[in-house]
Amino acid sequence: MTSVSFYKLSGDLQVALALVCQLTQKAVNAKQQVLCLVPDNDTAEQLDKLLWGFQASAFVPHGIGVEHSPIAISADSSDPGEHHGILINLQGAIPTWFSRFERVMEVIYPEPDYEQAKRDNFKFYKERGYPLSFHDLTEKFKP
C-alpha cells in the first residue's frame, strides 16, 4: 500500500522547491525514481533550474515531462506513464493515479487555499487507511 508523508514548511513556494531539491537528491542516492508534480509550467521551470544548481558536487538527473528521466518534473496531472516510485505532490489536488506509487510526499506551505487543500488530502488518505506520517519542518528547514 502507498505510504503518504506530509511535510509542513513555514516558507513560501520557493522554500517548498528547496525542500523538493533535497528530497530528490535523497531519492537519487537511494536509486529511486521520482515524479515531482508541480502546480504549473512556470514552477516546473523554476524547479528545473534549482535542480541544475542544487549541489555543485552532485548531479540530480532530471527533466521536465515524464519521459525516461529518473527525476521527472510535470505540471500535467494526467497519467504519468512508467513512474511509480515516489510522487512529490505540490499541487493542491490528489491525482487519481497516486496509488501506483510506493510513496507520496505532500509538501505544505502557508497559503490559505493550498493549506486547506492539503488538509482535505490528509483526511482523504486517512479515511481510506493509507499509512500516514507528518513532519513539521516549520522551525527546522531553512534553505
Residue count of the chain, please give it: 143
Name the phi and psi angles at 14, rounded to 5.
-65, -40
Domain that holds residue 52: 3-136
What CA–CA distance (Å, rounded) separates 21 from 31? 15
Q: 135 Cβ partners below 8 Å, 6+ apart? A: 5, 6, 7, 8
Position 117 in a domain: yes
Mean pLDDT value across the chain: 91
Q: How many domains does the chain have?
A: 1
Q: Is residue 125 part of a domain?
A: yes
Residue 89, domain member (yes or no): yes
Q: Flag whether 126 is in a domain.
A: yes
pLDDT band at 29 (very low <50, low <70, confident <90, very high): confident
In a domain, 123, yes or no: yes
Please return the burial class of 68, using the count of CB atoms within 10 Å of its CB with bins 0-12, 13-18 and 19+.
Answer: exposed
76 is a domain residue:
yes
In this predicted structure, what is the pLDDT of residue 66? 65
pLDDT value of residue 134: 98
Whole-model pTM: value is 0.92
Least trusted range by pLDDT, from 31-35, 66-70, 91-95: 66-70
The answer as to whether 142 is a domain residue is no
Residue 141, domain member (yes or no): no
Instruction: Render pLDDT for 36-84 as a digit per residue (tens, 0 to 9).
Output: 999 999 999 999 999 887 666 667 777 788 666 788 999 998 888 777 8
Nearest to 110 by CA among 71, 70, 80, 138: 138
Q: What is the CATH number of the domain that holds 21?
A: 3.40.50.10110
* Cell numbers linked to 91: 499541487
DSSP state at residue 65: B
